[in-house]
Amino acid sequence: MVQARDDRTEWAWGYVPMQVTRRVKEILGWYEGEYPGVKTNLVRLLMQGRLAGTGKLVILPVDQGYEHGPARSFAPNPAAYDPHYLFQLGIDAGLSAYAAPLGPLEQGCDSFAGQIPLILKLNSANSLSGLQDQAVTATVDDALRLGCVGVGFTIYPGADACYGQMEELREITREAKRKGLLVVVWSYPRGGKVSKQGETALDIVAYAAHMAALMGANIIKVKPPTKGIDLDAAKPTYEKAKVPDETLADRVRHVMQCAFNGKRLVVFSGGEAKDTEGILEDVRQIAAGGGHGSIMGRNSFQRPREQALELLDEVTKIYLGKA
């Protein structure tokens, strides 16, 4: 057995220390009223990989085959058509978890059992439909069968379908937590009073994070907020309160305030494909603003394997305070 060391980057990736760190215990204290099984799975997640014990997370999400289609997702790096490649990428990079729909997790859950925490994405949209909605494509029991630590679910606050999605999430959250699984909510406002450009505006992203927290999310996924206020009703308040918004770190700090004053784990998506330095600068700003980590899909798996590992190594180092 590898001996625990002060420098967590030297641990064998995937090795779970027996001693839960003070930081992880502090985070567990935020989740008052949760089932012990949910907290157990939070520990599994937070004590995994190179960021074990730090309270930070880097998660590999691969649901883009549903959302954008197979070629748009995997043709830039054809090895990623194979679900086993994605499992191995997450393991070799020392990531916190791998999140995907039912089929890819079924394809590798036996071969890679116990080597990386899994999150089953329970609903998905597709590019062939014009609806701002998602279909429920898997169940909580599927997640249990596959050995997942939790389930993921997307809501589109503002869309015509948003109230139905929230009611679906309510029932899934109740079932998942009762069965000991944590709940990860992708909260992506669109439609209604939200302009297309405003989908990532500071007030809209902060509102999205707050709604996910109100719905009982254990982990919240939002997009990095851009400068500007989109909702007319919110503009006077933001101006009067002089909420800082000049830098991404300022904006992340406000999003964290809106997630129960930082007492919910919030991870930020990588967004559209961009150059390496652009990605790393965003991560530095997220870390400086108190964000709990990144959930990075296309910007990692669309790169050739070695380039992806180099990028994820640099991202991890930033959250470790070493870059």
DSSP readout, 198-241? GGGBHHHHHHHHHHHHHTT-SEEEEPPPBSS---GGGHHHHHHH
Residue 18: what pLDDT?
A: 58
- The β-bridge relationship of strands 123-124 and 135-136 is antiparallel
Locate 75 and state its tokens: 């043709």
Neighbours of 4 (CB within 10 A): 14
Contacts of 134 (CB under 8 A, 6+ apart): 123, 124, 125, 154, 156, 165
What integer pLDDT is reported at residue 84 of this predicted model? 98
Give residues with Cβ within 8 angstroms of 300, minimum separation 6.
Answer: 60, 89, 93, 270, 308, 311, 312
In a domain, 8, yes or no: no
pLDDT of residue 19: 87
Q: For residue 97, is it within any domain?
A: yes
**pLDDT score for 270:** 83
Q: What is the CATH number of the domain that holds 130?
A: 3.20.20.70
116 closest CA partner among 82, 140, 90? 90
Residue at 259 is within a domain: yes
Is 1 within a domain? no
* Structural domain contains residue 50: yes
Other beta carbons less than 10 A from residue 265's beta carbon? 25
Question: Is there a catalytic annotation at residue 15?
Answer: no
Q: Does residue 99 form part of some domain?
A: yes
Collect all residues with Cβ–Cβ distance below 8 Å to 25 and sequence separation of at least 6.
none
Which residues sit opposite 294 in a β-bridge? 58, 268
Q: Which of 158, 315, 27 is nearest to 166 (CA)?
A: 158
CA neighbor of 267 nearest in space, from 222, 304, 302, 207: 222
The active-site residue out of 207, 221, 223, 319 is 221
Task: Report yes or no on 19 lying in a domain.
Answer: yes
Range of the domain at 243: 15-319
State how far the Cα of 29 lies from the Cα of 23, in Å rounded to an integer.
Answer: 10
Active site residue 188: yes
Across the strands, what pairs with 183?
Answer: 151
* Digitized pLDDT (tens) for each residue of the chain, 323 residues in all: 333 334 444 444 444 445 899 999 999 999 999 999 999 999 999 999 999 999 999 999 999 989 999 999 999 999 999 999 999 999 999 999 999 999 999 999 999 999 999 999 999 999 999 999 999 999 999 999 999 999 999 999 999 999 999 999 999 999 999 999 999 999 999 999 999 999 999 999 999 999 999 999 999 999 999 999 999 999 999 999 999 999 999 999 999 999 999 999 999 998 666 799 999 999 999 999 999 999 999 999 999 999 999 999 999 999 999 98
Q: How many domains does the chain have?
A: 1
The reply to whether 101 falls in a domain is yes
- Among 66, 98, 156, 188, the one annotated catalytic: 188
